[in-house]
Amino acid sequence: MNGRLQDKVALVTGSGRGIGRAIAMKLAAEGARVVINDLDSAPAEETVQAIRAAGGEAVACAGSVTAPDFAERFIGTAVERYKGLDIIVNNAGYTWDSVIQKMSDEQWYAMIDVHLTAPFRILRAAQPVVRSLVKADDAAGRRVVRKVVNISSVAGLFGNAGQTNYAAGKAGIVGMTMTLAKEWGRLNTTVNCVAFGFIKTRLTEVSADGNATANIDGRDIKIGVNPGLLAMMEQTIPLGRGGTPDEAAGAVFLFCIPESDYVSGQTLMCTGGLTGI
């Protein structure tokens, strides 16, 4: 594959399914070699095989992003397999909703851990590697711009009833993005954020009886959206519909290409025109 990301090494968490898979496929289609992650090995390997079948390169690193040893293993997979690190997309996540008076400590920490602590650990583990690569680039007389794209949500920008935990984590990743844009500028690395609105995935698909669940990290989490609520939500979106995973991936892609090499510390809303919730 030849493209604008030819031979770049990209890491995408939560890329076995949904938005993450679409991001990984998009980066690979543009020539990136991708490290795929999912909680479960089967969807991670399926994405790897899909990329390879299309002529790209990919390797799986399955497991929970919240595991204490995950960050080093994830970054290590990229270095050991592809000898580099150019793009990191912190995408993995889910929701576990409740009004605050009914929210348990477990619910709170689960959202903070997956949406904020996991990206923190991954970027902390990546920093020495990036610094070493920059030194090698300088010694060789070349300038390489690396990219970090964190994923937030309109809930993190405007709040959303029933999502104190999720909104707090997604607001925190915006602050982390702006801070690391200042710290990593000297490493020729841009750090940006994409805040999604309503994107149609397995976690937000229609659930007529409201009883659909998914096992996430050993917990049965309620997923899906009531059809009536879904219709009402889509009416509030100026474009009149929820977004697709491919459209969500396109927003992330904008921060990965050379055309955005001088854009850093920014949060882009990918919402179909929705500017608040």
End-to-end CA distance of the chain: give it in Å, rounded: 40
Is there a contact between 213 and 219 (Cβ–Cβ < 8 Å)?
A: no
Catalytic residue among 94, 109, 166, 262: 166
Q: Cα(254)–Cα(271) distance, rounded to whole angstroms?
A: 15
| Residue 94 a catalytic site member | no
d(CA 120, CA 122): 6
Measured distance CA(144)–CA(247) in Å, rounded: 27
Instruction: Identify which of 275, 48, 12 has the alpha carbon closest to the alpha carbon of residue 149.
Output: 12
- Spatial distance between the Cα atoms of 65 and 256, rounded to a whole number of angstroms: 22
* Among the listed residues 89, 92, 76, 87, the one whose alpha carbon sits nearest the alpha carbon of residue 32: 87
**Which residues are identified as catalytic?**
166
